[in-house]
């Protein structure tokens, strides 16, 4: 069932996930957010199949994916957390905005369905799945950024 502390830690974990992109903090935060390796499913945005990758590889994809943006903002709300022992599922709503220089804002809205595991260092995301339900102004450079 999990405790209220577990739930609070998992919601905070999702906030740290957003901070990686929005603060462009690719050094320490990824290790505080993800397991090594992790499974990613951004197919609804990128068209790429689900994949499992080493954390270091994903960090480099993140760094490259977010480099062109002047700013991004991921508002992740409405967390529904299900805890079963040392595993958890987190469903949440997302509104992600991305600003390129001299371009329209790229908007992605939808849902995250993520999975986390309890580690000796705390909860970490082991699977991230984004289901985009609406997009506006998707740029050609879009990759597995969200």
Task: Extract the runs of DSSP E, i.e. beta strands, from 100-139.
Answer: 106-119, 122-136
What are the pLDDT digits (tens) for 99-133?
999 888 999 999 999 999 999 999 999 999 999 99
Contact 125, 95 (CB under 8 A): no
DSSP calls for 5-63: HHHHHHHHHHHHHHHHHHTT--SSHHHHHEEEEEEEE-HHHH-PPPEEE-HHHHHHHHH
Contact 82, 102 (CB under 8 A): no
Q: Which pLDDT value is given to residue 141?
A: 60
pLDDT of 95 strictly over 50: yes
Contact 97, 77 (CB under 8 A): no
pLDDT of 144 strictly over 50: no
Instruction: State the average pLDDT over residues 64-91.
Output: 96
With tokens 């709503």, the residue in question is 93
Highest mean pLDDT among 6-15, 44-53, 102-111: 6-15
Instruction: State the average pLDDT over residues 21-46.
Output: 96
Alpha-carbon distance of 47 to 87, in angstroms, equals 28
In this structure, whether the domain defined by 3-136 belongs to CATH 1.10.246.90 is answered with no
The residue that leads in pLDDT, 3 or 51, is: 51
Q: Which pLDDT value is given to residue 47?
A: 87
pLDDT, mean over the chain: 93
């Amino acid at each position: 069932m999990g405790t209220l502390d577990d739930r609070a830690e998992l919601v905070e974990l999702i906030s740290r996930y957003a901070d990686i992109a929005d603060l462009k903090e690719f050094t320490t935060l990824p290790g505080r957010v993800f397991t090594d390796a992790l499974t990613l499913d951004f197919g609804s945005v990128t068209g790429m199949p689900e994949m499992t990758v080493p954390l270091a590889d994903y960090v480099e994809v993140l760094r490259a994916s977010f480099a062109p943006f002047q700013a991004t903002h991921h508002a992740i709300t409405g967390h529904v957390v299900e805890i079963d022992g040392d595993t958890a599922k987190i469903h949440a709503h997302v509104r992600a905005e991305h600003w390129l220089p001299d371009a329209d804002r790229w908007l992605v809205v939808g849902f995250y369905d993520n999975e986390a595991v309890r580690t000796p260092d705390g909860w970490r995301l082991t699977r991230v799945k984004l289901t985009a339900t609406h997009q506006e102004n998707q740029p050609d450079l879009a990759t597995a950024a969200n």
